[in-house]
Amino acid sequence: MIEILGNLGLGFVHVLAPANVTALLIGLVVGMLVAILPGLTLVMGVVLVLPFTYGMALLPSIIMLTAMYVSGTYGGAFTSILFRIPGEPLDVPLLWDGYTMGRKGAPAKALGWTLYAALWGGLLTATAMVLLAHPFARFALTFDAPEYFSVILFGLTSVVALAGTSMTNALISLFVGLLLSTVGVDEIYGVQRFTFGVPVLADGIKYVTIMVGAYGLGEVLGRLEQGFQSRPVKRSADGIKTELPTLSEVWKVRSAFARSSLIGVLLGIVPGAGATITSFVSYGAERQYGKRKALLGTGIPEGIVAPQIASTASVGGHMVPLLTLGIPGSGATAIILGAFLLHGVQPGPQLFTDPKSAALVYAIFASLFLSVLGMCAMGYFWIRSLVKVMDAPEAVVSAFVVLFCVIGAFSERNNLYDVWMIVIFGIVGYLFDRFRFPIAPLVLGAILGPEAETSFTTSMISHRNDWAGAFFGRPISCVLMILTIAALGFPLIRHVLRLGRAWRAG
């Protein structure tokens, strides 16, 4: 432990060099901007920045990309809570309670909870990364395609379990999202599916267009129908201010902090799980086991801290297999791996044995601590500025929402096809809201569908179509499948019991 602390202290010394501090600040700012702009995903932003690292030294390059990764898991909370536009897929669960709390008159409070959760999750994952890198990396090495599919399936069923009053509507929404994810070219067999002879559909329907259209334009259409007559935001005498939760308020939701922290670290260490799956699973666990699970979706703190802590806590977990095994844990860490290779460094166990490489690793650990602190310091002041947007007339804000949606959709491939697609899914989102179909399962199915299909097909091929052996014959996947069945079956059993009590009472 003393040796670890000593190496970490030297890491802080390296990071505080002028060039490294500059790279860290640039990464924080760019990562937050990328996360705020709807449609410009974090992975895409890291890819765009990667060419600028060619002429840089290795350490500032990795520090800048890591800082982008950290701040990107937090910046999207602004648009999610204020405008109901998730900057990233991982920000979708923040809509259900964060946006609701904001519409009830406490947008600054909702963002304050997000900031506190991001700080806690970030410091937790940085500490876990330093202390648990080797054992967690060895555990993650046992994961294969069946485990990946089991984790994704658990995430999907967790969302369905919390999707509202109608399980049927939630399942329909999820299956529509999964169906949309199959449009295009099959990744395993290379054949076109559901393209109907339209060449542009061969590229598939991007989840960004579905997400931005259904949530962003769908919300604007709903407000337009109501004549932009939402309830005014409550204000103090000197305007809206940032409202951080008090220690007593935080203590009341300590169980949510503990649950989401554990989920974030454990799923973060799994290569391929990603912050999105972690965020949804954490919210689903809160819906199943939280003390106030019945109130989730009405704007309570637990619904904000659970996904935010989990997604931020997953960052350090994703870096563990990258640094110790050379295995990227997510799309963003895959780009960071590319930066390592561009500078002639192969991540792996040798990084911890060579003294020079070990200094690099602990400098990266230290940069994660400083990135979390810098992200929250910036976020505090950005909250203060962005909440002022609520002063603008709702029609004006909605116009800017439409503008950002169009820019975000067009920026991904510079194709007007994507703009038309967000219009179509804006109408779909409006109709889903109108007829009480939850949008979350639709979006989640579109996001996780390709990953679920690929891992399932790979599992079937490698196990010769023996699904029982693939998913129930392996200890880790078996446990995950049992948890999935419980997550899906418990609401059904509860509903049947409720109907039985109503029938006996009648």
Q: Can you read off the two tokens belonging to residue 282?
A: 């954490």
Task: Give, as one character, the DSSP assignment of residue 241.
Answer: -
- Residues sharing a CB contact under 8 Å with residue 147, sequence separation 6 or more, in sequence order: 270, 474, 476, 477, 480
How far apart, in whole angstroms, are the C-alpha atoms of residue 339 and residue 61? Answer: 7
Q: Can you read off the two tokens belonging to residue 39?
A: 């449609």
Q: Are 129 and 320 in contact (CB under 8 A)?
A: yes
pLDDT tens track for 231-245: 444 444 344 456 788
- Residues sharing a CB contact under 8 Å with residue 482, sequence separation 6 or more, in sequence order: none
Neighbours of 490 (CB within 10 A): 12
Q: Are 465 and 187 in contact (CB under 8 A)?
A: no
Task: For residue 429, give the nearest of 105, 176, 200, 77 by alpha carbon.
Answer: 176
Longest C-alpha distance within the chain, in Å? 76
How far apart, in whole angstroms, are the C-alpha atoms of residue 280 and residue 277? Answer: 5
Q: Can you read off the two tokens belonging to residue 486?
A: 């419980």
Question: Up-side HSE of residue 351: CA atoms within 13 Å toward CB?
Answer: 22
Q: Dihedral of CA 477/482/485/486: which sign?
A: negative
Q: What's the residue count for the chain?
A: 506
- Alpha-carbon Rg for the chain in angstroms: 22
Query: What single-letter amino acid sits at 150?
Result: S
- Residues sharing a CB contact under 8 Å with residue 265, sequence separation 6 or more, in sequence order: 124, 125, 128, 132, 313, 314, 316, 317
How far apart, in whole angstroms, are the C-alpha atoms of residue 407 and residue 411? Answer: 6
Please state, in angstroms and as integers, the Cα–Cα distance from residue 408 to each residue in 116, 209, 427, 455, following that order: 28, 9, 18, 29
Q: Are 22 and 67 in contact (CB under 8 A)?
A: no
Q: Which residue has the tokens 């379990």?
A: 161
How far apart, in whole angstroms, are the C-alpha atoms of residue 156 and residue 174? Answer: 8
Q: Distance between alpha carbon 196 and the CA centroid of its chain, in Å?
A: 33
Residue/partner pairs of 184-189 with CB below 8 Å, 24 or more apart = 187/450, 187/453, 187/454, 188/454, 188/457, 188/458, 188/461
How far apart, in whole angstroms, are the C-alpha atoms of residue 179 and residue 449? Answer: 8
- The residues facing 184 across adjacent strands are 193
Q: Are 242 and 112 in contact (CB under 8 A)?
A: yes
Task: Give, as one character, the DSSP assignment of residue 21.
Answer: H
- Residues sharing a CB contact under 8 Å with residue 233, sequence separation 6 or more, in sequence order: 102, 105, 107, 240, 390
Q: Can you read off the two tokens belonging to residue 210?
A: 């579905």
Q: Are 77 and 94 in contact (CB under 8 A)?
A: yes
How far apart, in whole angstroms, are the C-alpha atoms of residue 205 and residue 251? Answer: 43
The tens-digit pLDDT sequence of the chain (506 residues) is 676 677 778 778 888 888 888 988 988 888 887 777 655 567 667 766 776 777 788 888 888 888 888 888 787 777 777 777 776 677 778 878 888 888 887 777 888 888 888 888 888 878 877 777 666 555 655 677 888 788 778 767 756 655 555 778 888 888 998 899 889 888 778 888 888 888 878 888 877 788 778 877 887 888 787 776 654 444 443 444 567 888 888 888 888 888 888 888 777 766 555 677 778 888 888 877 878 877 877 788 888 888 888 888 877 777 777 777 666 666 677 677 777 877 777 776 667 666 666 777 888 888 888 888 888 888 777 666 655 554 567 677 677 778 877 876 776 667 788 888 889 988 998 898 888 888 878 877 887 788 788 889 989 988 888 888 888 988 888 988 888 888 777 767 777 787 788 787 76
